[in-house]
Amino acid sequence: MNLEDAGFSTKLIHAGEIEDQFGSATVPIYQTSTFRFKSAQHGADCFSGASDGYIYTRIANPTIRALEQNIAALENGFGGIATSSGMAAITSVYMALLNGGDHIISTAAVYGPARGVLEQDFARFQVEASFVNTADIEEIKKAIQPNSKVLYIETPANPTMEITDIAACAVIAKEHGLVLVVDNTFCTPYLQKPLDLGADVVLHSVTKFINGHADIVGGIIITKESVLYKKIRHCMVYMGCNMDPHQAYMVLRGVKTLSVRIDRNQDNAIKVAAFLETHPKVSWIKYPGLASHPQFELAKRQMSGPGSIISFGLKGGLEAGRKLMDNVHLAVLAVSLGGVESLIQHPASMTHAGISVEDKQEAGITDDLVRFSVGIENAENIINDLRQALEKV
Ligand SMILES: *Cc1c(COP(=O)(O)O)cnc(C)c1O
């Protein structure tokens, strides 16, 4: 079936489907490390590229390929490269696009390890990195050097919820010959399509919304065209960052409900945000769906919905944050986001507890900040749970 003009939800269900000899309705798990060649000639053809037969699962596998084709169709890309984790997707992209002596410009509040691996590991190979507030286009322009090769952005950024203008970044990237990479984990292609806005590469931690059920870790990279696709896939295969067929099957199952899940996550988040905005113990709230968000207009233009991640501040700082964590019962006290279940996190006492005050400040992480990933439970239950926990703060 030609899905070119099909709607997003139709693609979720059918893009990447395969026909096998048994007429399986879902993509089976091809749990095999290697593939039988029909003859010496067939083996030679598979290696030379004259045949597109499978060789070895680190290189390619039918279950993994089905997922890669599915997500590439959703992002309007040339092809997908599935990886063992979101971080494997990020490091494969860095490895493929950066040489010693090159420079990358990245969002300051980017996912912690995506910054750490540049500062601690790629630095050992003379890769230079600048971390700037990419929500301010002038800051990006100021950071460009003659050896700049990649502009890497995460929008909305985590947990500050700051938004970077993807189309404006694409213009700058083109002007200066930079590859524009966007981490689209928070929005998924249902809410934001970076390749349509001019990005060259999109990547995801599929651990979050795309799989959506908090039961696997995985990642994927999608490129706009074939040259970058081949370059990044080559690196991924050589480094052995591939996804496993069982993982791919789980994600294929999870992604089918992406649009219905996000619709519900988001409806709930809008209600939770309205509740928090007027609560006397909440000092501030950042959610792209509220007119109080500093980039509300950009969010409306760039995203087809505000999503379901909310950051808010508690009067009473660190202690208040701890109290809230110990009194929520419905929301799971855990890192990660984008699942069917509500998840709550207090960075200052949890994920960022070991980080210096200056580094926390620079990343916009204050002691009072709470991050809430709104699930698909009944909205009144989520709100009542927060209400009773806030009473104890
Ligand atoms: C979780 C996350 C990652 C890392 O993904 P893993 O699957 O945990 O390796 C990268 N970027 C963002 C925005 C994330 O939320």
If pLDDT is split at 50, 70 and 90, which confidence band does 160 have?
confident
- The pLDDT value recorded for residue 71 is 98
pLDDT per position as a tens digit, 55-69? 999 999 999 999 999
Average pLDDT, the chain: 95
Is position 111 annotated as part of the catalytic site?
Answer: yes
Q: Is the CB of 86 under 6 A from ligand 1?
A: yes
The percentage of residues in the chain with a pLDDT greater than 70, rounded to a whole number, is 100
Answer yes or no: is pLDDT of 93 > 80: yes
Q: Is the CB of 162 under 6 A from ligand 1?
A: no
Is position 102 annotated as part of the catalytic site?
Answer: no
Q: Which of 94, 111, 152, 249 is catalytic?
A: 111
Q: Is the CB of 182 under 6 A from ligand 1?
A: no
Domains of the chain: 7-255 (3.40.640.10), 258-391 (3.90.1150.10)
Q: How far is the CA of 208 from the centre of ligand 1 (A)?
A: 8
Beta carbons of 101 and 221 less than 8 angstroms apart? no
Q: Is the CB of 111 under 6 A from ligand 1?
A: yes
Q: Which of 11, 149, 208, 261 is catalytic?
A: 208
State how far the alpha carbon of 166 is from the alpha carbons of 23, 152, 181, 201, 217, in Å: 42, 10, 10, 12, 27
Is position 58 annotated as part of the catalytic site?
Answer: yes
Is the pTM for the entire model greater than 0.85? yes
Q: How far is the CA of 40 from the centre of ligand 1 (A)?
A: 42
Q: CB under 8 Å to 197, separation ≥6 — which residues?
A: 166, 167, 170, 302
Q: Which of 56, 58, 271, 322 is catalytic?
A: 58
Q: Is the CB of 184 under 6 A from ligand 1?
A: no
Alpha-carbon span 88 to 336, nearest angstrom: 16
Q: Which of 102, 183, 200, 244 is catalytic?
A: 183
Centre a 10 Å sphere on the Cβ of residue 10 and count the other Cβ atoms it contains: 13
pLDDT per position as a tens digit, 240-265? 999 999 999 999 999 999 999 999 99
Residue with tokens 């239950």: 381
Q: Is the CB of 345 under 6 A from ligand 1?
A: no
Ligand 1, atom 2: closest residue by C-alpha? 205
- The pLDDT value recorded for residue 169 is 98
Where on the phi/psi map is residue 129: left (φ > 0), alpha (ψ -120 to 50), or beta? beta
